[in-house]
Amino acid sequence: MARYVDIHPVNPQARLISQVVDALADDALIAYPTDSGYALGCRLGNRDGRDRILRIRDLDEKHHFTLMCRDFAQLGQFVHVDNNAFRSVKASTPGPYTFILPATSEVPKRLMHPKKRTVGVRIPDHVVDQALLEAHGEPLLTSTLILPGESEARTQGWEVKEELDHQVDLVIDAGEVTAEPTTVVDWSEGFPEVRRYGAGDPARFEG
């Protein structure tokens, strides 16, 4: 049965954030709210967590995982951002965008795309996420919580708790969030290609 943690959306309680960080350190798989729907998350070194995300979402090994980063400086430790991408990515973060970029040696190989050696990265514009990432001290391995056969992410903690009670270890509730997933922009070839249209404005990457 998943633990249910109710965190204030504007002033996250440090005590509760610390409890979530402790759970992540113990290899918990969490469901948490973001600025583009709920997501599944675990620490980078959690092999079982990665596999559980794939099972819950019914995804194959080619799935592009995302590293949820605290800020641009942290993002730059895990992906190569060339001059063409630098200004565009920096100007779009934090926000509802996921960028696919070549991974650095800091990223475990099992988290990269098997052929392209790329990984998704994003910086959320959500108070609870920022508090969690700061306390955790490293990115979260993340995937949007879109269940098999569905096209939108979950938006409410109680709903996630009901549906995934025996598949995740902890659910954060911080109020309802938007259902629209991130806009995904692939920068891996040195130019932007929109792979998924979502909450972010894709116009800045087109034309």
Q: Domain ranges for the chain, please list them.
A: 3-205
- Residue for token digits 């949820």? 68
pLDDT of residue 112: 87
pLDDT in tens, the chain (207 residues): 999 999 999 999 999 999 999 999 999 999 999 999 999 999 999 999 999 999 999 998 878 889 999 999 999 999 999 988 999 999 999 999 999 999 999 999 888 888 889 999 999 999 999 999 999 999 999 999 999 998 888 899 999 999 999 999 999 999 988 888 899 999 999 899 999 998 888 888 876
Tell me the C-alpha distance between 159 and 196, whole Å: 25
Q: What is the CA radius of gyration of the chain?
A: 16
pTM for this entry: 0.93
pLDDT for residue 113: 84
Residues 151, 76: Cα–Cα separation, whole Å: 30
| Strand-pair partners of 4 | 171
Residue 92, CA distances (Å) to 32, 70, 164, 177, 185 in order: 22, 14, 32, 20, 11
Q: Which three-class secondary structure state does DSSP give residue 40?
A: strand
Q: What local confidence, expressed as pLDDT, does residue 207 receive?
A: 63
Question: Residue 178: what pLDDT?
Answer: 86
Phi, psi of 5 (to 5 degrees): -120, 120
Tokens of 102: 């070549």
Question: What is the model's pLDDT at position 103?
Answer: 95
Which option is the CATH number for 3-205: 1.20.20.10, 3.40.190.10, 3.10.20.740, 3.90.870.10?
A: 3.90.870.10
User: Residues near 91 by Cβ (< 8 Å), separated by ≥ 6?
Assistant: 204
pLDDT for the residue numbered 180: 85
